[in-house]
Amino acid sequence: MDRDDGECDVVAVGTWSFSLKGVECAMHSMCSGMSAVDAVVRGIETVELDESVTSVGFGGLPNRNGFLQLDAAIMDGSTRNSGAVIALENFKSAISLAFLVMTHNRHSVLTSHGASSFAASLITSYPNLIPHIPHDKISSLIESLSKYTNACDTSLYKTVSIPSYVVLHAVIDHADSVGEYALNRFREYLERRDQPRLDEGPSDTVGILCRDKNGRISAGCATSGMQFKDVGRVGDSPMIGHGLYADGEIGAAAASGDGDQLIRFCVSFCVVEMIRNGVTAQRACEQIVERVWKHNRSIQLAVIALESKAGNIGAYASRQGFKYTYGRIPCQALHTDTTANPHVHIQEAKLTEHHIDTFKPPKWSHTCV
């Protein structure tokens, strides 16, 4: 319960059970005093660097040419500022660069080689962004990132300091961005790429929503996209209003599912607008799923939401089997116990009897994002 002096419960919620470590990281970050937007970056990056997660970041499956292309976006509900990168190559993680697009670039979205060039320009000015690269290899990295386009105009950078926790997980050799599991899956794909399409396995977006003790709210998401996708393909995930949205006065939402279909519905924006109109976060998630399924019952959709004022969360899906993670620390605990350990839960979204009776939804089949 929020306090009368304006301090709020610390809350975080994430899509899918694999977001557990990310939500834990986000909760710890906010409990230590970090803002919601910083917590989102740290939380999502934790998931991206986990090679066991095969639809996000380093563990993600490559495109049909064998190259890993990452998408990520972040939105600060307090300022409505946002940043996104699309089809990013030579990186194991994309959310930090999306954050830097938001804070240090005149544009809101950068794609592919433009995003890489922006990273190269940043590294030239701030070599501490890549502590994992030996100093004598930095020039090779910069050359690799900017080989297809000219460097960005650094005079346009916003005069904002870069938080010390922000690190760019760039690699010199393109092949180093693809994990061992992904390489094995790609070889299997090549062996049967001319056969009828089979279920290629999970391809789910990680979305994390956070509210810090000051009531600030933020949303972020990241994905490696549909497995073995066409080069340059992008779904709804990194699109503001689609894969994520945050309004500091109202709430935030994030979606996962069939991105090629969901991009037509502005899912996350609609959920936040429903909350604005007096609907609870839970009911807003239910209503957007019902709206999409009335149009096409084959579309897969999972959505989470977080209310800015009350801190209530919502989660729902078009099919059975969607599990989300969430954590909450009462604001009183932050004052009485400075070592408060946020416990993060995994819970399956329960479909309403009306949804089950009307649509008779099958289990979730992790094939699209």
Q: What is the CATH number of domain 10-351?
A: 3.60.20.30
Q: Check residue 200 and give its pLDDT.
A: 46
Q: Check residue 2 and give its pLDDT.
A: 59
Q: Check residue 157 and give its pLDDT.
A: 66
Domain boundaries, the chain: 10-351
Question: How many helices, marked H, and strands, marked E, lie in the chain?
Answer: 11, 12
CA dist 263 and 257 (Å) reads: 10
Query: Taking the CA of residue 43 as centre, how many other CA atoms within 13 Å lie in the half-sphere pointing to its CB?
Result: 39
Q: Check residue 124 and give its pLDDT.
A: 87
Q: Check residue 1 and give its pLDDT.
A: 53
Tokens of 134: 């030996």
Q: Check residue 176 and give its pLDDT.
A: 80
Q: Check residue 216 and give its pLDDT.
A: 97
CA nearest to 92, candidates 40, 126, 48:
48
pTM of the model: 0.92
Q: Walk along the chain (369 residues) and give the pLDDT tens digit of each residue.
A: 555 556 899 999 999 999 999 999 999 999 999 999 999 999 999 999 999 998 899 999 889 888 899 999 999 999 999 999 999 999 999 999 999 999 999 999 999 999 999 999 999 888 889 988 888 888 898 888 888 777 676 666 666 789 999 999 998 887 787 888 888 888 888 887 666 444 444 458 999 999 999 999 999 999 999 988 999 899 999 999 999 999 999 999 999 999 999 999 999 999 999 999 999 999 999 999 999 999 998 899 999 999 999 999 999 999 999 999 999 998 877 766 555 677 899 999 998 888 887 878 877 665 545
Beta strand 109-111 pairing with 81-88: parallel
Helix-strand-coil percent breakdown of the chain, rounded to 5? 35, 20, 45
Which residues participate in catalysis according to the annotation? 205
